[in-house]
Amino acid sequence: MKVRLPDGKELELEAGATAREVAEALGGRWPKQAVGAIVDGELYDLLKPLPEGAVVQLITKKDPEYQHLFRHTLAHVLAQAVREFFAKKGYPPESVKLGVGPVIEHGFYYDIDAPEPISDADLPEIEKIMHDILKRDLELRRYELPREEAIRRYQGVDPYKVELIQDIPENEPISFYEQEGFTDLCRGPHVPKTGMIPPHFKLTHVAGAYFKGDASRPQMQRVYGVAFRSKEELKDYLWRLEEAKKRDHRKLGRELELFLIDPMVGKGLVLWLPKGNIVREELMRFMREEQQKRGYQLVTTPHIGSLELYKTSGHYPYYAESQFPPMELEDEAYLLKPMNCPHHVRIYAFKKRSYRELPLRLAEFGTVYRYEQSGELHGLTRVRGFTQDDAHIFCTPEQVKDEFKKVIELTLYVFDTLGLKDFRARIGTRDPNSDKYVGDDAHWALAERQIQEAASEMGLEYTLEEGDAAFYGPKLDFVVNDALGREWQLGTIQVDYNLPERFDITYTGPDGEPHRPVMIHRAPFGSIERFMGILIEHFAGEFPLWLAPVQVAIVPITDRHHAYAEEVKKALSAAGLRAEVDQRPERMQAKIRDWEKQKVPVILVVGDREAEEGTVAVRDRRKKERYTAPLAEVVQDLARRVRERRLE
């Protein structure tokens, strides 16, 4: 057989040769340094036979693909270690049954059905056995078996593997990887020896997982691990993991009394507590102000709509699985509103429109409802009822690009104001091989071109994501990195030629004839709930002054200072600041500690001297400063910081 190298050179090899034989044929450093290969664009290990005529590029430990190889092999090492762990307890190897063990972001996992439950307390011992397997430097061997023989191997021993074999298409080989004391059904790829795995890994936790993700199937235990090339990378990741736990918006939401999800109210339905509602209202006020500066008109629409409305828009049945079921009332069917856009289309359509009215920008903080599966619900970031900062721009085809650029500008301004400076943009286009999209090809091509031109003219770097478009049009998404480097998809902007067509809306052009408008859908926040969850974690609950529920806490040193403390509060309130006086019969230091735990940005301490001089002792949490200053000066400074929505 022949294979080609990236430089075009051809190698003649024995039939069934692997990348290992390529390394040996090249000689020099390759036999010792090669850990795998890129074969016709696909990652191979050194053990899998190469196809005839393939282009083969060898990789070493310096290449990024190495990380995938050793993480995959670590999943096998984990499964072997679990079997050895239970063998020490007297269980035979076949008592530990195995599902799948893939590579995931930052690491790996394995789904396991063990004779006894695996607890987090068991992980250090399993981890110790894994390190021992690495030290044994076990060599991996790959081989294939006919389907019937492969099934017989697991029949009556491991039903999960039997089913996984049965799922493999008839034209695919059934391959196994074996290392001393352990064999697993696997497509690969892997490192050739366990000793080539960096020892910088950690098992993080155990969770329940249904076989194949089907709640009607047996529940297994999923053991998660993370793995990196270096000790420093592992240390940094574990630090971020611990920091993420501290910043968890569900934990902080309860501690700071921001929001509540009550089982009696319903899963995925948010109750905003007074302090959380202040933050929510401040965000909405910020967006309203910016929208009104840019010519948006505010509207309000109901929480339900006729099923016919969503059939016309195409949201039903396209998204039927993620919607609450229709309600039948008096021979009419209604649906909890899954989207705001059809309602805005009907507002546009209520009277004849002229080109002189366009662009028409309709905005709403509209609450919508989606039926997320119980297992997918997560605090504020995955809920069943949420409010979008939704707007729809109706414009002429010639206005699309300029309007799109203005929405990009607004989105970037929002991110900058909130300190979300690390982000990337991606343009979702349609998959030409999919039938889920509606509308004609010409409109799709035009919309995709307009989005790309607008992004480029705004100096926005972006990636193209084929198949990521909405069913009715392409879109631009903003993916933001928070303070811990985690990615969150936030703002989205979409061009839509299809809804105006489906609803048959028009405007009268300069020629006196009817023309079809174009819609731009946009939501810089995405949803208030999700955005709040991300902000809580990004700021670790320490909101900037303008967003903080309580902006200033006033701590009188003793009871006789209460009167002056109330004067201070009155001055702050007159300037529009949210302030509270702590009149509890506690020691001053205890009061200060409590307010610091509540992450209040500014604490003002007042005593005899302050009352006499008309000053306050300032503890500024965000500026990390302490100083004494005249009350009027402090009020003026704080009011200016709030007015300018400054981050410090």
Q: Count CB atoms within 10 A of the CB of residue 560.
A: 11
**Beta bridge pairs of residue 18:** 49
The full DSSP string for 420-436 is ---EEEEEEE--TT-S-
- Selecting among 83, 344, 370, 406, the annotated active-site residue is 370
CA dist 614 → 284, 406, 556, 567 (Å): 36, 48, 14, 10
SS (HEC) of 488-535: EEEEEEEEECHHHHHHCCCEECCCCCEECCEEEEEECCCCHHHHHHHH
Q: Which of 158, 390, 477, 582 is catalytic?
A: 390
CA distances from 167 to 161, 210, 213 (A): 10, 17, 15
Q: Of 97, 361, 392, 591, which is the active-site residue?
A: 392
341 included as an active-site residue: yes
**What pLDDT is stored for residue 471 in this prediction?**
77
Catalytic: 521? yes
Strand ranges of the sheet holding 552-556, from the earlier edge strand across to the other edge: 579-581, 552-556, 602-606, 615-620, 625-630
In the three-class reduction of DSSP (H, G, I as helix; E, B as strand; rest coil), residue 279 is classed as helix
Question: In angstroms, what CA-CA distances link 58 with 13, 47, 156, 186, 280?
Answer: 15, 13, 41, 22, 53
Per-residue confidence (pLDDT) for residue 632, from 0 to 100: 96
Question: Catalytic residue at 57?
Answer: no
From the CB of residue 438, how many other CB atoms can be counted at a distance below 10 Å? 17
| Residue 130 per-residue DSSP state | H
Domains within the chain, CATH numbers bracketed: 2-62 (3.10.20.30), 66-243 (3.30.980.10), 278-538 (3.30.930.10), 552-643 (3.40.50.800)
Q: Assess whether 475 carries a catalytic annotation.
A: yes
Total residues found in the chain within this entry: 648
pLDDT the model gives residue 433: 82
Question: Of 475, 522, 599, 622, which is the active-site residue?
Answer: 475
What pLDDT shows up at residue 320? 80
From 106, 222, 430, 521, active-site residue: 521
pLDDT value of position 330: 84
Q: Is the peptide bond before 189 cis (omega within 30 degrees of 0)?
A: yes
By the 8 A CB rule, do 297 and 363 touch?
Answer: yes
The stretches in the chain having pLDDT less than 70 are none
**pLDDT at position 595, please?**
95
Identified catalytic residue from 341, 343, 450, 551: 341
Catalytic residue list contains 392: yes
Of 388, 399, 494, 551, which is the active-site residue?
388
What are the two backbone dihedrals, phi and then psi, of residue 206, each rounded to the nearest 5 degrees?
A: -120, 135
Helix axes 528-538 and 274-293, enclosed angle (nearest 10): 110
Asked about 583 being catalytic, the answer comes back as: no
254 classed as catalytic: no
Write out the DSSP string of 42-64: EEE-SSSBPPTT-BEEEE-TTST
Is the separation of the CB atoms in 381 and 537 below 8 Å? no
- Distance between CA 65 and CA 230 in Å, rounded? 15
